[in-house]
Amino acid sequence: MTPPKISDALIILPGRYRTLWEIPVVMLILTLIAAFTANAYWISTLTSALAIALAARGIGVLYGLLGLVSLCQFALIGVGGWTMLRLGHGTGLPFELNVLLAGVVAAAVGVVWGAPALKLKGLYLALVTLMLAGAYQVVISATGFPDGGQGWLGRADAIQRLMLERPVVAQNSTRYLIYCAAWATLGFMAAEWLRLAKPGRAWAMIRKDDRAAMSAGVNLLVYKIIAFAFAGFLAGVGGALLAGSVGQLDGRAFAASESLSLFALSVVAGVYNWYGALIAGLLLRAVPSLLTDFEINGYAAIVFYGTALLHAIITAPRGIAGQISGLITRIKALLGRKTPPRQATRQEDS
Amino acid sequence: MIRIENLTVQFGAVKPLDDLNVELDAKICGLIGPNGAGKTTLLNVLSGFITPKAGRVDVDGTDLLSLSPVRRVDLGLRRSFQTEQVVEDLSVYDNVLALLDHLGVARAEARRQVSKALHFVGLDREAHRMGAELNLYQRRMLEIARGLVGAPRLLLFDEPGAGMTESEGETLRETLLAIPDEFGPQILLIDHDVELILATCSKTLVLDFGQFLTYGPTADVLAEDIVKRAYLGVDV
């Protein structure tokens, strides 16, 4: 055992923000591969997957970092999509500004919907948020998404329905895929920065224990609101990008069951690593497309999701991304790249 | 100094603390008593997790009960729990830094304080490791390190030596004894290890069924018949 000792040496940790810079590199490589190899059908599928991956990253923040189960994140994609279509058809604002505004509106709704989390946890929070997703399904089925019409709801008749214009820099599908990848990269980087910085440490403390967090000076209310706002923002941006991809949105695509599937697949893919969100988006969109390629009904994907969730809960609680991360760690250990912290004098540090 | 006046905590018909009056003036103060004596309840009152039915608690002249738990951290109150609360997926360094995040400490100063605290408890070489990789002794020492940053004024340690081996307990003693001189705070220490209390605490408060039993120099307190009967289960 080491007796107490006083030292002025500062501790230096290697590679603290390394993962932050891995994200754009990995995303660039994957996007270029997709852009140069995928056909039109798969370009469209991967674009949707990227949009949904942003919402999945929000689930990663809420569940992976804070331990809160929110089952209304797909509905927040819908909120972002609605806002994007309404602003896109009703104002002359630039596409990018509309995407940000869609994120802000979804963040505000996310905070309101997340309000029960200030008192509830676990099953009860899950049930309340699922009911909110159900309520959204009812409302959006009745009102539909804006499609260039007049009035607050922006609904047109069947003949005059308009498609949302894509941004000038991304008019064709391949460019729009790259455009969405850029947004997703920024979203993933923002989430990773939050994880590595002060909010991430506060969220980890809250997940460990409310009282321990308060004993560390963490304001539970503030940090839960930040988490719900950020998760809502990511979902809203995802919804806006989805609206831009398809041009119109269908209320039937935003059933409460989609929020359940998104949460389940986020767990399967892994909520503790940024690329888990990417895998979740791919699972939700690519698996049905793959089944269709093999002339199997896309709804059979639900059976796959259930089986994968069961598998993840029993054998891989950190998900597919966690298994990939473990593999990378083992390879690095084999290559002898694990770097211990080093000591530095104050002079060296300055 | 902690001044407690007429402190009463009541849950229904049960009074875990009943009209407690005491001035804890020792730099390292022990808090002992049999199970259910109200030791942890007193720590929870001091931390702000339990609102007492009546009474007043002053720490160095500040009315503690008027402050929220988070504001008490600003004041310099630090706390460890019976069940260790190391965050498994934060590094050792970040486990300590997490406390300074909310105290408005500049980054360079935060780094200096975290480094000093980790050196002090002997975890400087483990700074990069995740909380999940630590053994029980290291987790307990990490909780102590967390209490040493951000100008602490009062450390509340709830059984920090639980589960430690003899040699680990010896290091814990040396560490606790060195804290007041190096970091300045008063320590209120709960532990069932009477030897640890005797070795580290100049004075000790004894509670029994939520009531004050005695307070004074630790050796004298442990020698009192009333304490032996209530706490040590010795017939006198």
- Residue B119 to residue A9, Cβ atoms within 8 A: yes
A341 touches chain B (CB under 8 A): yes
List Cβ neighbours of B95 (8 Å cut-off, separation of 6 or more): B86, B87, B131, B142, B146
Chain A residues in contact with B121 (beta carbon < 8 A): 4
| pLDDT value at A285 more than 90 | no
| pLDDT value at B180 more than 90 | yes
| pLDDT value at A229 more than 50 | yes
Chain A residues in contact with B85 (beta carbon < 8 A): 208-209, 212, 215
B90 touches chain A (CB under 8 A): yes
Give the lowest-confidence range in A313-327, B55-69, B195-209.
A313-327
For residue A206, is it within any domain?
yes
For residue A251, is it within any domain?
yes
For residue A244, is it within any domain?
yes
Mean pLDDT of B108-128: 93
- Looking at per-residue pLDDT, the higher value among A177 and A312 belongs to A177
| pLDDT value at A339 more than 70 | no
Number of domains into which chain A is organized: 1
- Residue A3 to residue B94, Cβ atoms within 8 A: no
| pLDDT value at A119 more than 90 | no
**Mean pLDDT taken over chain A:** 87
A147 band by pLDDT with thresholds 50, 70 and 90: confident
Task: From residue A60, give the alpha-carbon distance in Å to each of A95, A108, A112, B215.
Answer: 27, 19, 19, 51
| pLDDT value at A349 more than 80 | no
Condensed to tens digits (0 to 9), the pLDDT of residues A193-222 reads 999 999 999 999 999 999 999 999 999 999
What is the DSSP code (8-state) at residue B228?
I
User: Which residue of B128, B167, B177 to mutate against A (max A Cβ within 10 Å)?
Assistant: B128
Task: From residue A308, give the alpha-carbon distance in Å to each of A176, A295, A299, B111.
Answer: 31, 21, 15, 43
Mean pLDDT of A272-301: 85
pLDDT of residue A7: 76
- Looking at per-residue pLDDT, the higher value among A154 and A140 belongs to A140
CB interface of B with A, residues 118-147, below 8 Å: 118-122, 124-125, 127-128, 137, 146
> Which of these, A187, A210, A206, lies nearest to A198 by C-alpha position?
A206
pLDDT of residue B234: 62
Q: Give the separation between CA B142 and CA B151, rounded to whole angstroms.
A: 17
For residue A123, is it within any domain?
yes
A337 band by pLDDT with thresholds 50, 70 and 90: low
| pLDDT value at B208 more than 70 | yes
CATH 1.10.540.10 describes domain B1-76+152-236: no
| pLDDT value at B14 more than 80 | yes
Measured in angstroms, the CA of B144 and the nearest CA of chain A are apart by 12
Mean pLDDT of B180-208: 93
B17: exposed, middle or buried (C-beta count within 10 Å: 0-12, 13-18, 19+)?
buried
- Residue A6 to residue B127, Cβ atoms within 8 A: no
pLDDT of residue A120: 79
User: Which residue of A8, A63, A215, A342 to mutate against B (max B Cβ within 10 Å)?
Assistant: A215
Closest CB to B87 among A13, A205, A346: A205
What is the DSSP code (8-state) at residue A64?
I
B66 touches chain A (CB under 8 A): no
Mean pLDDT of B56-62: 91
A344 band by pLDDT with thresholds 50, 70 and 90: very low
- Residue B47 to residue A211, Cβ atoms within 8 A: yes
Closest CB to A4 among B85, B111, B121: B121
- Residue B182 to residue A216, Cβ atoms within 8 A: no
A343 band by pLDDT with thresholds 50, 70 and 90: very low
- Residue intervals in chain B for CATH 3.40.50.300: 1-76+152-236
pLDDT of residue B235: 61
Residue ranges making up the domain that contains A234: 16-153+162-255
CB A286 within 8 A of CB A49: yes
pLDDT of residue A348: 38
pLDDT of residue A24: 95
Q: What percent of chain B has pLDDT over 90?
A: 78
B236 band by pLDDT with thresholds 50, 70 and 90: low
Condensed to tens digits (0 to 9), the pLDDT of residues B130-170 reads 999 999 999 999 999 999 999 999 999 999 988 889 999 99
CB interface of B with A, residues 2-41, below 8 Å: none
A337 touches chain B (CB under 8 A): no
Q: What percent of chain B has pLDDT over 70?
A: 97
Chain B residues in contact with A272 (beta carbon < 8 A): 89
Q: Give the separation between CA A154 and CA A248, rounded to whole angstroms.
A: 12
| pLDDT value at A350 more than 70 | no
Mean pLDDT of A32-44: 92
Q: What percent of chain A has pLDDT over 70?
A: 95
A340 touches chain B (CB under 8 A): yes
pLDDT of residue A157: 75
Q: For B118, which residue in chain A has the nearest alpha carbon?
A: A11
For residue A1, is it within any domain?
no
Q: Give the separation between CA B177 and CA B198, rounded to whole angstroms.
A: 11
| pLDDT value at A345 more than 70 | no
- Residue A201 to residue B81, Cβ atoms within 8 A: no
**How many cross-chain Cβ pairs, A to B, lie less than 8 Å apart?**
117
| pLDDT value at A340 more than 90 | no
| pLDDT value at B55 more than 90 | yes
- Residue B125 to residue A272, Cβ atoms within 8 A: no
Mean pLDDT of B29-49: 92
Measured in angstroms, the CA of A205 and the nearest CA of chain B are apart by 6
- Residue B101 to residue A209, Cβ atoms within 8 A: no
Chain A residues in contact with B139 (beta carbon < 8 A): none
For residue A125, is it within any domain?
yes
pLDDT of residue B232: 63
- Residue B146 to residue A216, Cβ atoms within 8 A: yes
pLDDT of residue B93: 95
Chain B residues in contact with A216 (beta carbon < 8 A): 73, 98-99, 102, 146
- Residue A215 to residue B103, Cβ atoms within 8 A: no
pLDDT of residue B67: 93
- Residue B120 to residue A10, Cβ atoms within 8 A: no
The SS3 assignment for B8 reads strand
For residue A248, is it within any domain?
yes
Question: Would the CA dihedral through A46, A52, A54, A56 be positive or negative?
Answer: negative
Mean pLDDT of A313-327: 86
List Cβ neighbours of B210 (8 Å cut-off, separation of 6 or more): B9, B15, B16, B17, B18, B20, B37, B38, B41
Mean pLDDT of A321-325: 88
pLDDT of residue A1: 66
